[in-house]
Amino acid sequence: MSGLNQGDMRLSGHGLRCVRGGREVFAGLDFAAGSGEAVAVMGRNGSGKTSLLRLIAGLLVPAGGTIALEGGHSELSLAEQCHYLGHRDALKPALSVAENLTFWADFLGGERFDAVESLAKVGLDHAIHLPAGFLSAGQRRRLSLARLLTVRRPVWLLDEPTNALDVAGQDMFAGLMREHLASGGMIIAATHAPLGIESRELRIGGAA
């Protein structure tokens, strides 16, 4: 019995151990997040914040411990219910802004929402036909964020999501995160700066 209400989800990790390049990065790590909750993963450089997100996304295998999602879509894996947004923007410079978004929507599959509307929400509708290679760093980040809106997935794994965003961009993104949480989603974000939304702190490896 999970004790969850219908539609609610809970993502948790217990006793997680991460080894990279033969070196232990962290061990005995526990975390939990429920629908509507955000967790800010904090810690010094190299403490394993990105590694934790990659473990949850299924891009790395834990050396120990377990990760479980309760109450999600029973026919989909955890990875299929996650968006993983790395700190580097995964964009194809020769493709236009709209084509990059379509590429990601095709790649990720599932139900998709209007790309133009998503681009408008992140303030990029004026650049829709521009090659992504021409975008500024903040605009590239905004295009990456539009992916979260075009393909809806309940678990957002975000690595330093506000990097390169100006103050207005950070406010815009805080609004998008709040909407996502209000709709029952959850967010695990590695960050060195405040996220701009209410969040629980998960500190890895002692004080930064």
Ligand X SMILES: Nc1ncnc2c1ncn2[C@@H]1O[C@H](COP(=O)(O)OP(=O)(O)OP(=O)(O)O)[C@@H](O)[C@H]1O
* Interacting residues toward ligand X by CB under 6 A: 20-21, 25, 43, 45-51, 190
Nearer to ligand X, 37 or 160 (CB): 160
Nearest alpha carbon to residue 24 among 84, 66, 68, 64: 64
Phi and psi at residue 154, to the nearest 5°:
-70, -30
Least distance CB 19 / ligand X (angstroms): 9
Phi and psi at residue 100, to the nearest 5°:
-60, -40
Nearer to ligand X, 30 or 114 (CB): 30
Nearer to ligand X, 130 or 164 (CB): 164
Give the 3-state secondary structure of residue 65.
strand
Residue 17 DSSP class? E
Beta strands in 35-133 (DSSP E): 38-42, 64-70, 82-85
Least distance CB 56 / ligand X (angstroms): 12
Provide the H-helix boundaries in the chain: 49-57, 97-108, 115-121, 137-150, 167-182
Nearer to ligand X, 20 or 203 (CB): 20
Q: Which residue is nearest to ligand X (CB)?
A: 21
Q: Are 150 and 105 in contact (CB under 8 A)?
A: yes
Least distance CB 27 / ligand X (angstroms): 13
Give the end-to-end CA distance of the chain in Å, rounded to a whole number: 38
Nearer to ligand X, 53 or 105 (CB): 53
Residue 98 structure tokens: 């709209």
Q: Tell me which residue has tokens 């709709």.
A: 183
Nearer to ligand X, 4 or 193 (CB): 193
Least distance CB 195 / ligand X (angstroms): 15
Least distance CB 49 / ligand X (angstroms): 4
Least distance CB 76 / ligand X (angstroms): 26
